[in-house]
Chains A and B, each alone.
Chain A
Amino acid sequence: MGKRKAVVSLRECVACGCCMKVCPRGAISIPKGIHAEINEELCVGCGKCAKECPAGIITLEVAEQ
C-alpha cells in the first residue's frame, strides 16, 4: 500500500503560505508566488497543511507507485 501524500489543487491555490508555515517537515514551498508545491520526498502525509489551508484545497492522496 502506498503512503498518503499531500496534493494541492494548483488551479485554486491562492499562494498564501499558511500550509508552508505549519508543515513540520518543511516540505512545502511557493517558489513563484503562484501556487504551493509539495516535496513528496519530505511529505509524511500528516495532514496539518490540509487542516490549515484556508481555501481547503489540499487533499491527502495515496501516491500511485
Chain B
Amino acid sequence: MKQKKKWYDFLWIFSLTYLILGFFNILFAWLGLLCFFIPLIIAIAKGNKAYCNKYCGRGQLFSLIEGRFGLSRRKDIPKWMKSKYFRYGFLIFFFLMFFLMLWNTYLVFAGTKSLSTAVTLLWTFKLPWHQAYHGTVFSEGVAQFAFGFYSVMLTSTVLGFLTMVLFKPRSWCVYCPMGTMTQLICKARNVTSSQK
C-alpha cells in the first residue's frame, strides 16, 4: 500500500523555483514569507505539524535529491545534534540573526544605511548578488529585506545540503528552526488543551 502521490507531494517544485527566481530577481524572496507563516498558522490554529509532515517543499527536495543521486552517507546524526540544547540553541541563534536582518532592513528604510546588494551565506560570507537587483518602485528597504530573507533561505538550504550528505537525507529537519518552533507551539498548545 504505497501511498499515492498527492498534490502536496509536488511542493518541492515551489521550493526549487523559489531559489532559482531569487537568483534572477531578488524581490521574489518575499514569497518565502509563505514558508514562514503557513507552518506557524497551522501549528497555532490546528495544533499539529501538518506543514512538516505533508507540505514542506524543502524537506521533499532533500529526500528527492538524495533519492535521485544517492548523495547521502545515510549515517545517524551525532547525538549532540539531536539534543534539545542544540535544537533550541540553534532556534535562538537563528532568531537573533533574523532580528539582526530586520534591524538592517529598518536602517535601510530609515535611510541611515545604503542598500547592500549581496546575499550573506552562513551569516558570514557576502556573495555579490547584483544580477538579481533591477531597482524597485518601493523603498530600498523592500529590496534589503528581500536580500536578507533570501540569505536566510539560502543559508538553511546549504546547511541542509551539508547535513544531507553527511547524515540522512532530511537531517536538516532535526534542527530546522521552523520544525523546532512548530513542535514547541504544538507542545504548548497541548499542555493548555489538556488542562481544560
Partner-B contacts on A (CB < 8 A): 12, 14-18, 20-21, 24-26, 30-34, 51-57
Partner-A contacts on B (CB < 8 A): 1-3, 43, 47-50, 52-54, 59, 63, 74, 76-77, 82, 87, 167-174, 176, 179-180, 182-183, 185-187, 190
Q: Across the interface, which residues of A come within 8 angstroms of B176, CB to CB?
A: 16
A11 to B184: give the CA distance in the assembly, Å. Answer: 13
A32 to B189: give the CA distance in the assembly, Å. Answer: 9
A37 to B8: give the CA distance in the assembly, Å. Answer: 22
Which of A15, A33, A51 has most chain B Cβ within 10 Å? A33
The total number of A-B Cβ pairs within 8 Å is 84
Known contacts A12-B82, A31-B48, A32-B47, A56 near B76 by CB under 8 Å: yes
Would you call B173 and A14 a contact (CB within 8 A)?
yes
A64 to B106: give the CA distance in the assembly, Å. Answer: 60
Residue of A16, A32, A56 touching B186 (CB-CB under 8 A): A32
Residue of B nearest to A52 (CB): B168
Residue of A17, A32, A52, A53 touching B52 (CB-CB under 8 A): A17
Residue of A nearest to B60 (CB): A21
Would you call A54 and B174 a contact (CB within 8 A)?
yes
Which of A12, A17, A31 has most chain B Cβ within 10 Å? A17
